[in-house]
Chains A and B, each alone.
Chain A
Amino acid sequence: MIQLQGVSKHFGPVVALNPTDLIFEERKTTVLIGPSGCGKSTILRLIIGLLEPSTGRLRFDGTVISTETILQLRRRMGYVIQEGGLFPHLTARQNILLLPTHLGRPREEMQSRLNELAELTRLPQDSLSRYPVELSGGQRQRVSLIRALMLKPEVLLLDEPLAALDPMVRANLQTELRAVFHYLNQTVVLVTHSMAEAAYLGDKIVLLRQGNIVQAGTFADLRDHPADGFVSEFINAQRRLVVS
């Protein structure tokens, strides 16, 4: 679905991502994980076109991602960020319907899609008429998720969607996310720094460090056949954290 060929990114002398080849498979959830500054968010931002690669090229469903194609491609992707990225001057409903209205999509169809997604994410109907400041953190992320899914995107991109939430809300939403992924059965790219989240949600895990892919595979692969000491250290560090 999405393909990176020799893609690298540097900001002046600072390297964010070394030349990388990577394929995100259709209808699979791929998790990008690693310590801060490893390049995981950079990959996501390259896909949605907020960054342009320094070398190499990215393809989305065969189309090269470029400034000419990005506008159309963005409308085939959904993007959710840590704080939700909801516009404060619009209600939850207005946020969700912003793009569909702008593109002139039929109102009836969008309304039923909205109801379907609200039910799926367990978002209370009355919160739709509230402004972002009046919503809880968990509700904000649900609204953001609904906004990203409105136009039935082929790919859903999530950049640490749960990081800013408190643990209880986080656990609930994690469960719901998995249900949503199963229900929609679509291509998902998730960025996180939590191995537990990666193991729970991901079909495939890509572990990065300092702009390089260290290992890619299922959680079992990483756990049972770590490519090097860093992989087992990364898995164990998080496990210790859970135990202690």
Chain B
Amino acid sequence: MKLLSAILVAILIAMSTAAAPQPVVIGSKKFTESYVLGEIAKRVLEEAGVPAEHRQGMGGTIILWEALTQGAITLYPEYTGTISEEILKTRGPVSLDEMRKELSRRGIGVTDELGFNNTYALVMRRERARQLGIAKISDLRNHPELVVGVSHEFLQRKDGWKPLVKRYGLKMPDVRGIDHTLGYVALANGTIDLKDAYSTDAKIAKNNLVMLEDDLGFFPQYRAVLLYRLDADPRVPAALRRMEGTLNNARMLQLNAAAEQTRDYSRAASLYFHETGPKSASLTSNIARWTTRHLLLVGLSLFFSILIGIPLGIWASRPGFMSRLILGITGLVQTIPSLALLALLVSVPVLGISPLTAIIALVLYGLLPIVRNTATGIQDIAMPLRESAAALGLEPRAQLFRIFLPMASRSILAGIKTSAVISVGTATLAALIGAGGLGEPIISGLNLNDHATILEGAIPAAVLAFFVQLSFDFLDRLLIPKGLQIRANSG
């Protein structure tokens, strides 16, 4: 086991250094504006001679904040309202200086405001709002029949849906949680009437939506700032300071719109520097990079699934309590939704946001098919053959390695194949916690509601799954003993 953990550590070090040759890592939340700010910060740092990597769309506030405090990332864009409400959990409004004092106690620095205020807003289709005569949030009191679909984060926030309803005295029974980007689609096709939005969101103008006036002043100010680690290279805060006060609402709206139109964040970020921008890396080189990363994730996790799964399967092949326990637990892991499993693992302090977390989740997910197929493969060996192995005078270990495992090889390989194919699919979720792979374009595409970008990840993932399947069919022929592949020629 010592050797194993040494190998694991070595591989992970290799992975993390491969991913970040220099330690400055920029994180961003899973929406356009955050991506764009992340790209701008990257350019600003690079111009100051600090190489930086941008991990796009790692998730929501909690994930980014954890990643920052744990040191997985060096900085990320955040909003003052979120800092006070969600991170510091203060009562009532606080000044930026007070925040700075409080944050520095946790080893985190904050820049001055970048300029714009991206507060929350409630939006409706312009036509529908006019029809019902709704202009401000308090008008909603007379329309409890409206269907509300808000993002999951907004549903839970201290400055989110529930306190808003209380403050305005709304009675709207039909509220559902829906992905922020998909919510715009639902709004457009009339599935929902009302959703939350960010006031600089380019989709508001694009989809002909109207922002309802916050007539009771419920929403706090969401002024954009950058959070960074105080132990970062001193050139980092110096460079970031150059971004302070440079982005007003109109400018940010313009950059967001450009990003959504061109589907290219770094080009949108270039607009900030008054350029048309360099063309970003070619599609093929991107796909090659994502695929390599994806294969690394799948390969490593499969390796450990096999290493753990086969011995567990052998153990589970012997009838009794342990067998039921092992099969029960591995089966249970499979029933946890993969997203929930990732979220659970991210909350484990030593793991947090890292490729290790993604690999552990994939290893756990890949166990069941291998354990189950190893166990049944061995159990299916006919009694007379088991007895022959014993009666011959082979000790149990030799029976296992010379007879049982080779005879169960077809079943075991089938389990490994299933595990590998599942893993290729599940590994796309690894991008959610910044582990990269083909999930990266899928998640950004989902976020942009852009099918082309989604397909840039989805097609290679499907092709990959197909090739994994093919190569295992080939391995079958190579690894399954020849005697088990011959069908009896005649009766």
Residues of A within 8 A of B (CB): 48-50, 71-72, 74-75, 77, 79, 81-83, 85-91, 98-99, 102, 131-134, 147
Contacts of B403 in A (CB 8 A): 87
B486 near A: Cβ within 8 Å?
yes
Q: Could you list some 9 contacts between A and B, CB below 8 A?
A: A72-B393, A74-B392, A86-B388, A87-B389, A89-B482, A99-B394, A132-B483, A133-B489, A134-B486
Expressed in whole angstroms, the Cα–Cα distance for A74 and B407 within the complex equals: 23
- Decide: A90 near B387, CB < 8 A? Known: A99-B393, A99-B394, A102-B398: no
Expressed in whole angstroms, the Cα–Cα distance for A102 and B399 within the complex equals: 11
Expressed in whole angstroms, the Cα–Cα distance for A99 and B390 within the complex equals: 11
Contacts of B486 in A (CB 8 A): 131, 133-134
Q: Are B407 and A99 in contact (CB under 8 A)?
A: no
Expressed in whole angstroms, the Cα–Cα distance for A79 and B385 within the complex equals: 12
The residue in chain B whose Cβ has the minimal distance to the Cβ of A86 is B388
The residue in chain B whose Cβ has the minimal distance to the Cβ of A48 is B391
- Decide: A88 near B393, CB < 8 A? Known: A102-B398, A133-B483, A134-B486: no
Q: Quick one: which of B357-415 are within 8 Å of A by CB?
A: 384-385, 387-395, 398, 402-403, 406-407, 409
Contacts of B484 in A (CB 8 A): 88-89
A172 CB to nearest chain B CB (Å): 20
Main secondary structure of the interface of A (DSSP, over half): loop
Residues of B within 8 A of A (CB): 384-385, 387-395, 398, 402-403, 406-407, 409, 481-484, 486-489
Residue in contact with B387 in the complex, picked from A71, A75, A81, CB distance below 8 Å: A81
Q: Are A71 and B487 in contact (CB under 8 A)?
A: no
The residue in chain B whose Cβ has the minimal distance to the Cβ of A101 is B402
Q: Are B406 and A102 in contact (CB under 8 A)?
A: no
B368 CB to nearest chain A CB (Å): 26
The residue in chain A whose Cβ has the minimal distance to the Cβ of B408 is A89
Q: Are B407 and A50 in contact (CB under 8 A)?
A: no
The residue in chain A whose Cβ has the minimal distance to the Cβ of B396 is A71
The residue in chain A whose Cβ has the minimal distance to the Cβ of B480 is A89
Q: Are A133 and B391 in contact (CB under 8 A)?
A: no
Q: Are A88 and B407 in contact (CB under 8 A)?
A: yes
Contacts of B488 in A (CB 8 A): 133-134
Q: Are B392 and A89 in contact (CB under 8 A)?
A: no
Q: Are B392 and A83 in contact (CB under 8 A)?
A: no
Expressed in whole angstroms, the Cα–Cα distance for A109 and B403 within the complex equals: 24
Q: Are A75 and B393 in contact (CB under 8 A)?
A: yes
Expressed in whole angstroms, the Cα–Cα distance for A79 and B484 within the complex equals: 24
Main secondary structure of the interface of B (DSSP, over half): helix
Q: Are A50 and B390 in contact (CB under 8 A)?
A: yes
Contacts of A87 in B (CB 8 A): 385, 388-389, 403, 407, 483
Contacts of B481 in A (CB 8 A): 89-90
Q: Are B483 and A81 in contact (CB under 8 A)?
A: no
Expressed in whole angstroms, the Cα–Cα distance for A119 and B389 within the complex equals: 25
Q: Are A131 and B483 in contact (CB under 8 A)?
A: yes
Expressed in whole angstroms, the Cα–Cα distance for A85 and B295 within the complex equals: 43
Q: Are A71 and B384 in contact (CB under 8 A)?
A: no
Q: Residue among A87, A133, A147 with the most chain B CB within 10 A? A: A87
Q: Are A71 and B406 in contact (CB under 8 A)?
A: no
Given contacts A74-B390, A132-B483, 16 further A-B contacts (CB under 8 A): A49-B390, A71-B395, A72-B393, A79-B392, A81-B387, A85-B385, A86-B388, A87-B388, A88-B385, A90-B481, A90-B483, A99-B392, A99-B394, A133-B483, A133-B487, A134-B488
Expressed in whole angstroms, the Cα–Cα distance for A89 and B392 within the complex equals: 16
Q: Residue among B390, B403, B406 with the most chain A CB within 10 A? A: B390
B340 CB to nearest chain A CB (Å): 42
Q: Residue among A48, A89, A131 with the most chain B CB within 10 A? A: A89
A58 CB to nearest chain B CB (Å): 15
Q: Are B384 and A85 in contact (CB under 8 A)?
A: yes
Contacts of A75 in B (CB 8 A): 393
Contacts of A88 in B (CB 8 A): 385, 407, 483-484
Q: Are B402 and A74 in contact (CB under 8 A)?
A: no
A174 CB to nearest chain B CB (Å): 22
Contacts of B391 in A (CB 8 A): 48-50, 74, 77, 79, 85
Contacts of B409 in A (CB 8 A): 89
- Decide: A102 near B387, CB < 8 A? Known: A89-B481, A133-B483, A134-B489: no
Q: Are A89 and B407 in contact (CB under 8 A)?
A: yes
- Decide: A71 near B385, CB < 8 A? Known: A131-B486, A133-B486: no
Q: Are A102 and B388 in contact (CB under 8 A)?
A: no
Expressed in whole angstroms, the Cα–Cα distance for A133 and B491 within the complex equals: 10
Expressed in whole angstroms, the Cα–Cα distance for A85 and B381 within the complex equals: 12
Contacts of B394 in A (CB 8 A): 98-99, 102
Contacts of B385 in A (CB 8 A): 85, 87-88
Contacts of A147 in B (CB 8 A): 392
Q: Are A50 and B387 in contact (CB under 8 A)?
A: yes
Contacts of A91 in B (CB 8 A): 483
B358 CB to nearest chain A CB (Å): 37
B164 CB to nearest chain A CB (Å): 68
